Amino acid sequence: MGIGIDIGGTAIKGGIVDHNGVILEERMVNTQNQMGYAQVLSDLVLLIKELHHFSPEETTVGIGIPGILSADGATVVSCPNLNWKNRPLKKDLEKELSLEVLLVNDATAACIAEAAFGSTRGRSSSVMLTLGTGVGGGVIINDRVISGAHGVASEVGHMIMAENFYNCNCGKNGCLETFASATALIRYCHKRLAEGVESDLKTSENFDARRIFEAAKAGDSLALAAVNRLARYLGWAIANISDLIDPEIFTIGGGLSGAGEFLLERIKAETKSRLTYPASAMPEIVLASFRNDAGVVGAANLSRFI
């Protein structure tokens, strides 16, 4: 049993998670990042103390952070959504709580949830890609999270794929998330519409990724081209990762995974076309099992994978 915390830009979710991945008690508070680090820290302490009433004294606290951690996992080096830089969150929390606190990137937390209880359970090496506003990632090899020498491993969303028509928020051009996220999908469709391409999407001024997938399934040529483009770059990325570390399985999560097999079959085809050894080293590619609870469940089980 453990305490898992998922820090988001608008809400902080926490829960007591049992040995089967079931959330027994759950709490949520607003993320008051506009009030500064001290306020968010105070809210975290109160939330964790409340949850600790329902858990054993020796409970470990795992926290998923939407940002980059130091190599020792103690400091939040950069968390743009909260405007944090070099914050000693582990030390600050342990001082207030007298509990062991472990920090992890939020996409890695989701990867752990899948490995412990979900779509990649029973596999010693797995990679998760979370497709939403951006592209997040988590890598587990030999049942251990890969964080890298500097704490910045698994930043798959920022692999350079090709030149693109706009820059990533990180400042680079060509990042995977500018080709294979919900943001990328929408921006590509707007670009093509501005160039005069005909599409049913013209009737929706503020269409989202779900609307694009609906139009693609209905046969709209622009929407279908946009989805195929997204799948192409995801397949290439998976092939690159496979050639480098050869994991058993990839799992696709995040909001775009709701497109299901319509997207998954395209990703599989693109992956196979780009693998160096498709006959012998084609990884399994599946949809993630968890949705909104992945961060909490994964963070609560972090100690099993580090």
Whether 260 is in a domain gets the answer yes
Q: Is the same domain home to 151 and 35?
A: no
Whether 305 is in a domain gets the answer no
Q: Is the same domain home to 47 and 154?
A: no
Whether 304 is in a domain gets the answer no
Quote the pLDDT of residue 203: 87
Q: Is the same domain home to 164 and 263?
A: yes
Q: Is the same domain home to 100 and 196?
A: no
Q: Report whether pLDDT(57) > 80.
A: no
pLDDT band at 37 (very low <50, low <70, confident <90, very high): very high
Burial (CB < 10 A; 0-12, 13-18, 19+), residue 260, is exposed
Other CB atoms within 10 Å distance of the CB of residue 174: 15
Give per-residue pLDDT as tens, 157-191: 999 999 999 999 889 999 999 999 999 999 999 99
Whether 299 is in a domain gets the answer no
Quote the pLDDT of residue 58: 80
Q: Is the same domain home to 202 and 67?
A: no
Q: Is the same domain home to 98 and 131?
A: no
Asked whether the beta carbons of 166 and 158 are under 8 A apart, the reply is no
Quote the pLDDT of residue 33: 84
Quote the pLDDT of residue 211: 96
DSSP secondary structure, the chain, as one string: -EEEEEE-SSEEEEEEE-TTS-EEEEEEEE--GGG-HHHHHHHHHHHHHHHHTTS-TT--EEEEESSEE-TTS-SEEEEGGGTEEEE-HHHHHHHHH-S-EEEEEHHHHHHHHHHHHSTTTT-SSEEEEEESSSEEEEEEETTEE---TTS-TT-GGG-B-S--SSB-TTS-BSBGGGTSSHHHHHHHHHHHHHTT---GGGG-TT--HHHHHHHHHTT-HHHHHHHHHHHHHHHHHHHHHHHHH--SEEEEESGGGGGTHHHHHHHHHHHHHH-SSHHHHPPEEEE-S-STTHHHHHHHTGGGG-
**90 lies in which domain range?**
2-105
Whether 13 is in a domain gets the answer yes
Whether 293 is in a domain gets the answer no
Q: Is the same domain home to 138 and 279?
A: yes
pTM of the predicted model as reported, rounded to 2 decimal places: 0.92
Structure tokens at 181: 């996220």
Q: Is the same domain home to 181 and 234?
A: yes
- The enclosing domain of 186 has a CATH number of 3.30.420.40
CA angle 24, 129, 248 (to 5 degrees): 95
Q: Is the same domain home to 64 and 131?
A: no
Whether 90 is in a domain gets the answer yes
What's the total number of domains in the chain?
Answer: 2
Q: Is the same domain home to 100 and 123?
A: no
Q: Determine how β-strand 68-69 pairs with β-strand 2-7.
A: unpaired
Q: Is the same domain home to 56 and 85?
A: yes
Give per-residue pLDDT as tens, 38-55: 999 999 999 999 999 988
Domain boundary among 105, 134, 157: 105
Rounded CA-CA distance 188/78 in Å is 28
Q: Is the same domain home to 37 and 166?
A: no
Give per-residue pLDDT as tens, 210-257: 999 999 999 999 999 999 999 999 999 999 999 999 999 999 999 999
Whether 301 is in a domain gets the answer no
Query: For all residues of the chain together, what is the average pLDDT?
Result: 95
- Looking up tokens 């051009």 gives 173
Residue 297 Ramachandran class (φ > 0 left, ψ -120 to 50 alpha, else beta): alpha
